Structure formats: structure tokens, C-alpha cells
Amino acid sequence: MTTFTELGLHKQVLKAVTAEGYDTPTPIQAQAIPHLLEGRDLLGIAQTGTGKTAAFALPTLDYLLDDAQPRKGKSTRVLVLAPTRELAGQIAESFRTYSKYMDCVTQTVFGGVKIGRQIRSLEKGAHVLVATPGRLLDLMNQGAVRLDDVEVLILDEADQMLDMGFIHDLKKIMAKVPDERQTLLFSATMPKQISDLAQQYLDDPVRVSVAPESTTAERVNQGVVHVANGDKLQLLEAVLRDPDLERALVFTRTKHGADKVVRKMMAKGIAAQAIHGNKSQPQRMKALEAFRDGRCKVLIATDIAARGIDIDGISHVINFEMPNVAEQYVHRIGRTARAGREGVAVSFVAEDELYYLREVEKITRIEVDTLPAPEGCEHLVLPTPSRDVRVRKPKGPSRGGGGGRSRGGQGHGGGKGGQKRGRSAKRPGKNQRRRDREKASA
Ligand code: AMP
């Protein structure tokens, strides 16, 4: 087994890793870090919980130490793009943690908060900038930041960024970063759009894939309750009153649905809060904070808002509504049973959601058992449908995804294609400089 010391990271980085209590690299770290230290591009298939943040942050910081430079105004050497404010905040926090024994300034920018402070904080520039695409583009358009010094570009949760309609923003951003750079793309899934993106923007990438957390899925006790849509709130109340429930993350498909569930649970005396895209940043932070420290045991979330959230001790994941993309189910239940603990995932499946349950069973290769009705809810529970009956895909939008429509007002201009990566480096970039250094020391 590889150790962090064997990976050959600078001692400042190693010290931070040790301070965090990590003793062995996770599989994605062991596989990715050696290639990233060589300056290779990387296509990583991995989801939150695998240690992917350190997999990209540690070698990137190591590179900054290799070639230490003061930051330049309105500029950054490392750019990380992430789909949500929560994830951007967490990535920035990780960079700060891992860089605490070196001179490195990490800044974060995301939407939903006033832009003025972000403009001012960018004036002196950053070594690492973590951003959501929309806000970054706004800041670029206002001349608050420029990307011509970017040497390392990291796209995290790329599939989610595409799902959220960020493709046009991404293309505009990609057009402004230098061609000569190191590019890392992480995605939990690998639809064609992602392989196209990789083809367009990565240069001979190393591919690293860590199995979707089947081990997590195996540790999660999964069950389903067949119930009519109109009875779900009553069922949820009963499940939330289970004394074994420490902390529950409840998923709805839409923001509107999340708010409604919160209202109904509050009315029943169950403290619940929602996080989704319509909540302001301070509201989301407050909800997460209360959930983390146990003041509020129930968090209602849409897929997009919950993606990437790293909270330990979630005993129950409840699918109040089934996701209509099967992979989302795996992400959802992966929020529980973290760090070797057990977890429970309960799915409320109405008749019109049976198709989605069957899709989940196909990709996870697990037949999800029907759970006994919670006490007092026997009359709500519908009989388990036979597996022999073929279920048709429901009509209607092919994906709800919590209102993940493309961002309003961004339009669809820009035409097709984006910019092709060329090799017409205006100045020696990171890879070239590394090669030059290697030649010089040979
Ligand atoms: P991530 O997949 O980046 O969200 O990381 C998931 C969690 O694993 C975070 O809480 C990290 O602090 C933790 N972590 C990352 N790398 C290691 C490691 N090598 N050993 C132990 N924990 C780790």
C-alpha cells in the first residue's frame, strides 16, 4: 500500500495531511497523485466521499510550492470550478487546510451573495480560486478577475455542472484560460457529454476511476415503502419519529416540494430545514450548521443542493420522491453509511415512480425490499407490485432534478463548438516548464 510519504509530496503538504489525521491515501489519491505530480491531465470518475478533493488539491499545492510565486492582482494560478456554493466552499476549505504550512491564498466566489466584496477580495489576486461558473463569468465581465495566469484548471462534479445548465458559461470560461495548462476533470458519472468535454479540453489525460461506492451501497440498509403520493407526508412524519433516527436527509425532486415538506413537518412539531437553490447563501449555511451540530435533525434537500455535502452521522436518507435519474439514487444514499457506519435509506415509491425504482435496481443490481409499515401507518401502505409486470416510463419531463433548468437569462448564444484546444502556447506553461526543469536537472 502506498503511503503519503512515498508519493513524494513536499514536506509542508505532508505536514498538513498528517495534521488532518490521514495516514494512507485513498484509492483515488494513490492512483491520481503520481500522475498529477508529473503534470499530466486527468479524467477522474469519482464521487464525493472518495477523497477526491485531496486527490487534486495535494498535488496542485505541491506544484505551487515547486514554483512559488507571489499572487498577482485580479489573477489566479489555480482555478477550480464547482457546481454549487456548498461544494465550492468545501473545496476552498480543503485547500486552506492542506496549505496551512505554506504561503497560499485561496479565494472563493459564488452566486447568491453580494458581488462587491468578492470584487474587492480579488483585487490582490489569489493562488487558488474556487468558483461557481455563473458568478465567475460575471466577475470576468466586470473586469474583476482575469484568467490568463491560470496554470491548473480543475473541473469538479462536471456532470452536475452540465446538468445545471452551465455548459455555455463553462465554454466561455474555457476560452479565457491559457491553452498551455494542466486540466483535471472529475465527474461522478460518464455520460457522452462528459466524454465530449474531456475530448475537447483535456490533453492525453490519464483516466482514473474509483468504483461508484458499491461498498457504501452495501452497508446501507435499503428499503422501499409503496405509498400513494397523497399519503407521503403522513408516512414521513411516522418515519421521522423513529427513535433510532439521529439525523435524516430527505430528498425531494423540486425546491417547491422541499419547502412544502418543511412547512408540513414544522406544523407537526418536527424541526426541519430546507436547502436548495432558491435559498440565500446565509440561509443555506445556517441550515447546514444547525444540521451539523444536531439542533435540527431533519434536512430537506434537492439533489443539486445536497450534492457534495460532507456531513457525518446521517443515519437516514429518505427519498420522499424518487429521483428520475438512477445515478442520483446512488449519490443520495451515499450521504449515509459514511466512515464505516451503518445507514438506512428509505424510498417512498408511488405508482408513477415504480419505473424509477426498477431503473435503480438495474444499475445497483440490488432488489430493494419492501419495508414493514411504520406503526400506525399500516393503512397507508400499498401492496408490493409484482416484479413480473413491466413498468412503463412515465410521461412528462425526462428529468426533474430539483428544477435544474438552465440558468435563466444566460441565453443560448455563443453558437456551437466552443474553442478547440490548440498547442499555440503564448508562453511556456506549467507542463513545458516542468519538462524544461527536468531537462535542466538531467
Ligand atoms: P471528498 O471525497 O474529497 O469529499 O472527501 C471525503 C472525506 O474524506 C473528507 O472528509 C476528507 O477529509 C476525508 N479524507 C480525504 N482523504 C483522506 C485520507 N487519505 N484518509 C482519511 N480521510 C480522508
CA 291 → CA 216, 275, 282, 336, 346, distances in Å? 22, 11, 14, 14, 19
Residue 26 Cα to ligand 1 middle (Å): 8
Cβ of residue 48 lying under 6 Å from some atom of ligand 1: yes
Residue 147 Cα to ligand 1 middle (Å): 29
Cβ of residue 54 lying under 6 Å from some atom of ligand 1: yes
Ligand 1 pocket: which of 53, 154, 156, 341 to mutate (most atoms within 8 A of CB): 53
What pLDDT score was predicted for residue 200?
95
What pLDDT score was predicted for residue 422?
33
From atom 18 of ligand 1, which residue's Cα is the shortest distance away? 22
For residue 85, give the nearest of 327, 325, 276 by alpha carbon: 276
Cβ of residue 216 lying under 6 Å from some atom of ligand 1: no
What pLDDT score was predicted for residue 396?
58
What pLDDT score was predicted for residue 411?
32
6 burial (CB, 10 Å; 0-12 / 13-18 / 19+) is exposed
Backbone angles phi, psi at 184, to 5 degrees: -125, 130
- Could you report the average pLDDT of every consecutive run of 10 residues in the chain (442 residues)? 88 95 89 96 87 96 95 97 92 97 97 94 98 97 98 95 91 96 92 91 93 59 94 96 90 93 94 85 84 90 75 88 85 74 88 92 85 91 88 62 31 32 40 59 56
Alpha-carbon 252 to chain mean position? 17
Q: Which residue carries 483535471 as its cell?
A: 184
Cβ of residue 334 lying under 6 Å from some atom of ligand 1: no
Ligand 1 pocket: which of 3, 6, 22, 61 to mutate (most atoms within 8 A of CB): 22
From atom 21 of ligand 1, which residue's Cα is the shortest distance away? 22
From atom 13 of ligand 1, which residue's Cα is the shortest distance away? 51
Residue 264 Cα to ligand 1 middle (Å): 36
Orientation angle between helical segments 85-98 and 11-19, nearest 10 degrees: 120
What pLDDT score was predicted for residue 211?
64
Cβ of residue 50 lying under 6 Å from some atom of ligand 1: yes
For residue 56, give the nearest of 103, 24, 91, 84 by alpha carbon: 91
What pLDDT score was predicted for residue 412?
32
Grid cell for residue 169? 458559461
Please identify, by atom number, the ligand 1 atom nearest to the C-alpha of residue 47.
2
319-350 per-residue burial string, b: 16 or more CB within 10 A, e: under 16: bbbbbbbbbbbbbbbbbbbbeeeebbbbbbbb
Q: Which residue carries 428529468 as its cell?
A: 399
Cβ of residue 310 lying under 6 Å from some atom of ligand 1: yes
Asked whether the beta carbons of 237 and 377 are under 8 A apart, the reply is no
Residue 393 Cα to ligand 1 middle (Å): 38
**Residues across the chain:** 442
Grid cell for residue 184? 483535471
Residue 50 Cα to ligand 1 middle (Å): 6
Please identify, by atom number, the ligand 1 atom nearest to the C-alpha of residue 94.
12
Beta bridge partners of 305: none
For residue 353, give the nearest of 324, 396, 317, 319 by alpha carbon: 324
Ligand 1 pocket: which of 26, 98, 331 to mutate (most atoms within 8 A of CB): 26
